[in-house]
Amino acid sequence: MGAEAQLGVDVLRRLGASVQRLLQSLPARQSEYAQMLASAGVIGVATAVGSWVFRELIQLCSRIFLQGEAALLRIWLHVGVLAIPLVLVSGGLVLLLLNHFYPGDVLGYGFPNFLETVNLGNARLRRRWIFLKALGAALSLGSGASVGREGPIAQIGGAIGSALAQVRDLTASQARILIAAGAGAGIATTFNAPLGGMMFAQEIVLLGEVELSNLTLVIIATTTAVVTSRSIMGVGAVFQPPPFRIGTHEQGLTYGALGVVIGLLAAGYIRLFHRVGSYLRAVRIAPTWRLLAGLALVGLIAVPLPQNLSDGYPVIDLALHGQVPFARSASLTAAKMIASALSLQAGAPGGVFGPVFFIGAMAGTTFRGVAATLLPGRTGPPGSYALVALGAFLGAVTNAPLTALLLLFEMTRGDWTVVLPAMVATLVALVVARLIEPDSIDTYGLTREGENLEIGRDRRILAQLPVSSVLRRNVVTVNEAAPLPEIMRAAGEGDQTTLPVLDAGGRLSGVIVIRDLLEIVGDAGDLRPLVNAADLSRRNPPFLRVDSNLDRAIQTMEYERLEDLPVVDQDSERKFLGLVTRREIAASLSRMHLSLALLSERDDNILWATGYRIARFHVPPWAVGKTLRDLDLRARYGVTVVAVGRVDGDHGFEPPNADRPFKPGDMVVIAGNSSMLRRFARAALTI
């Protein structure tokens, strides 16, 4: 090693030692926050390097596949129009080979699962995603699949944040912030837009959860990422729109009309995107053939419209300069909607931002062509509508208007003239789209599966607790042979909103929703004397198993629009046990918050629900170094850990992380009936 290099190493070593001494001299809470700030900076730098590598991979794969296409045309001339589909299929074969070695990490549009892991899971992403997401998306884009690069770079940055959180053994809440910071840094480097990347992290990854300390971490990550990216790749922007101009107030009205059209198009695209996915999954062919067939169809679409290949950034830039003809822009809008849905739903890795930008720009160009015909001389320059529609379509499809506006503002190098038309079009588009389809393109599928990403501390607590803790056993029921007068009398007793209908063996056979009872009886007419409970009940009623958790209970109530649900035992006989009510869940949650507050001040067991108590314990020596998953306390002792207090943190009690090992001095808050708690207490002292 040369003298200069050795001197540099010595300087870095002394600097690191100085920083470490400084952090150790700070109070614990300040030291921890300072370390989080430093981590955010490291994530920003690492994500910028990862973004540069990702871009180089895309260019390399593009050159390889373009040379392959040229070779096909030279060597096998009679292939003709099949050259493009063959290149796409060859890219699919390479992706399948990569997926063979890393199953589950390569194929498909993975951003919804990324959001689910961050917001509903343990916020632990696989470290190999840093490389696999980059390579998979580069192969997909290089071969011509109609996908974007933004989702993968966000996942790459998020995986970098998760890796650092795992190395530092951070809590799930801290890891979640670093993942969001990495994802925002990835978007910031892609568009040279630190504020847009910051808002992406807050609005899309963290679902609008704003906390000043978290916002600071994200800003540090996005800013350091852009500074590092500019030092590596220069200051060039992805798009180069001309200066935005607006002449008369009448043009402002046309941007409002553009928002209506974009909103309708956004709602249609969200549903088309997922409808294509449902259709492809319904077709009974292997995922391998589904991917190859989907890419072949995308190739056939690209034969007359080659601009539809890949993310189409050069074509978007042409549209922003008003250089895409009206007829071509209309056909490209429809083609990209179909091709992007086919590519991503068939399994090609990539993101949706690129197609969204493309569709928005082409739709804006098409709108301007129609408006210029209907209102000659009263429309703005050709490229202006493409620019505004690009942002409006992004905001409406992702339900993230602030992200769209900030990205648009930074992509136009801070041109304030675009702000007002963009705000009008984006907000109108968002309102119109949400009136038709409330979910974004990323949450649509999760909502249909019963998952709601907007989960907070309350839901994390409820997810740890079984319905048996609030089960109401003394309820009014009716036999399925009960006549109408008996049903009406039972409906008037108590405060239930549903009447469980039981068979002769005490098994749940249906439910009668009391609010629907009068309407049902009115329709029965002269048959009322012959009507019994079996006739009036829902024959396939919603119900909960006794081991279900309270979060599932409240989500089922929301979906079914019910205030209480029947609970049955765990066997297949559906033996009726009682009801769980929304009112009791809310009361229990309030008691839980009060109990946690009291437990932070004293060690007494506190009655929390009928037959249930919660208590605070120091982690016993035999549990140190093990995780909740290893200990499996529910199976061994019948108790549930509802919160954890870390000895190395200053955050009070927090939702448990099943994969984080316990340290000496950690505390746990455990719920269970009195006998279960005594059993665990004996084990904690004796094992």
The residue that leads in pLDDT, 7 or 312, is: 312
Q: Are 163 and 130 in contact (CB under 8 A)?
A: yes
For a pLDDT cut of 90, what percent of the chain falls above it?
A: 7
The structure tokens 């009447």 sit at: 499
Q: CATH topology for 32-233?
A: Clc chloride channel (1.10.3080)
What is the per-residue pLDDT across 417-431, written as a single tens digit (0 to 9) for each? 777 888 889 999 999
Distance CA 527, CA 446 (A): 43
Determine which of 15-19, 181-185, 212-216 has the lowest per-residue pLDDT on average.
15-19
Q: Are 346 and 293 in contact (CB under 8 A)?
A: yes
Task: Characterise 639 by phi-psi region: left (phi > 0), alpha (psi -120 to 50), beta (else).
Answer: beta
Inter-helix orientation angle 28-75/172-191, to 10°: 50
The CATH code of the domain at 457-580 is 3.10.580.10
pLDDT band at 526 (very low <50, low <70, confident <90, very high): low
Task: Write out the residue limits of the CATH 3.30.70.1450 domain(s) in the chain.
Answer: 600-686
Q: What is the pLDDT of residue 454?
A: 55
Q: What is the pLDDT of residue 337?
A: 92
Q: What's the chain's average pLDDT?
A: 77
> Residue 673 has which token pair?
């009936």
Q: How far is CA 633 from the centre of its chain?
A: 30
- Count of Cβ atoms closer than 10 Å to residue 489 Cβ: 12
Q: What residue type is assigned to position 137 of the chain?
A: A
Q: Are 625 and 662 in contact (CB under 8 A)?
A: yes
Give a three-class secondary structure readout of 69-80: HHHHHHHCHHHH
Q: Is 681 exposed, middle or buried (0-12, 13-18, 19+ CB in 10 A)?
A: middle
How much is the average pLDDT of 446-472? 65
DSSP element (H, E) containing 672? strand 667-672
Task: Write out the residue limits of the CATH 3.10.580.10 domain(s) in the chain.
Answer: 457-580
Q: Are 149 and 311 in contact (CB under 8 A)?
A: yes
Query: What is the radius of gyration, based on Cα positions, of the chain?
Result: 29
What is the per-residue pLDDT across 200-258, written as a single tens digit (0 to 9) for each? 888 777 776 656 667 788 888 888 888 888 888 776 666 777 777 776 667 778 888 89
503 pLDDT exceeds 70? yes
Q: What is the pLDDT of residue 4?
A: 47
Q: What is the pLDDT of residue 601?
A: 47
DSSP element (H, E) containing 109? none
Q: Give the end-to-end CA distance of the chain in Å, rounded to a whole number.
A: 55
Task: Write out the residue limits of the CATH 1.10.3080.10 domain(s) in the chain.
Answer: 32-233, 249-448
Q: What is the pLDDT of residue 260?
A: 93
Helix spans in 412-561 (H): 419-436, 444-448, 457-462, 484-492, 514-524, 533-536, 550-560
140: nearest Cα among 183, 189, 96: 96
- Count of Cβ atoms closer than 10 Å to residue 555 Cβ: 18
Strand pairing category for 653-654 and 498-502:
unpaired
What is the per-residue pLDDT across 104-154, written as a single tens digit (0 to 9) for each? 778 877 777 777 777 666 667 777 878 888 888 888 888 888 888 888 888
How much is the average pLDDT of 329-345? 91
DSSP label of 380: -
CA contacts within 13 A on the Cβ side of 456? 6
Distance CA 632, CA 665 (A): 20
Q: Which CATH class is domain 600-686?
A: alpha beta
**92-97-99-102 Cα dihedral, nearest 10 degrees:** -160
CA distances from 228 to 38, 198, 408, 472, 676 (A): 15, 16, 22, 60, 55
Q: Which residues pair with 512 in a beta bridge?
A: 499
Q: What is the pLDDT of residue 267?
A: 93
SS3 of residue 273 by DSSP: helix
SS3 of residue 106 by DSSP: coil
**437-114-41-39 Cα dihedral, nearest 10 degrees:** 130
The CATH code of the domain at 249-448 is 1.10.3080.10
Strand pairing category for 576-581 and 606-609:
unpaired
Give a three-class secondary structure readout of 229-243: HHHHHCCCCCCCCCC
Q: Are 161 and 181 in contact (CB under 8 A)?
A: yes
CA contacts within 13 A on the Cβ side of 415? 18
Q: Is 534 exposed, middle or buried (0-12, 13-18, 19+ CB in 10 A)?
A: middle
Determine which of 157-166, 220-229, 546-555 has the lowest per-residue pLDDT on average.
546-555
Q: What is the pLDDT of residue 446?
A: 66
Q: What is the pLDDT of residue 603?
A: 47
Distance CA 41, CA 220 (A): 6
How much is the average pLDDT of 334-349? 90
pLDDT band at 461 (very low <50, low <70, confident <90, very high): low
Determine which of 32-46, 256-270, 506-520, 642-656 has the lowest per-residue pLDDT on average.
642-656
> Residue 58 has which token pair?
């895309």
pLDDT band at 8 (very low <50, low <70, confident <90, very high): very low
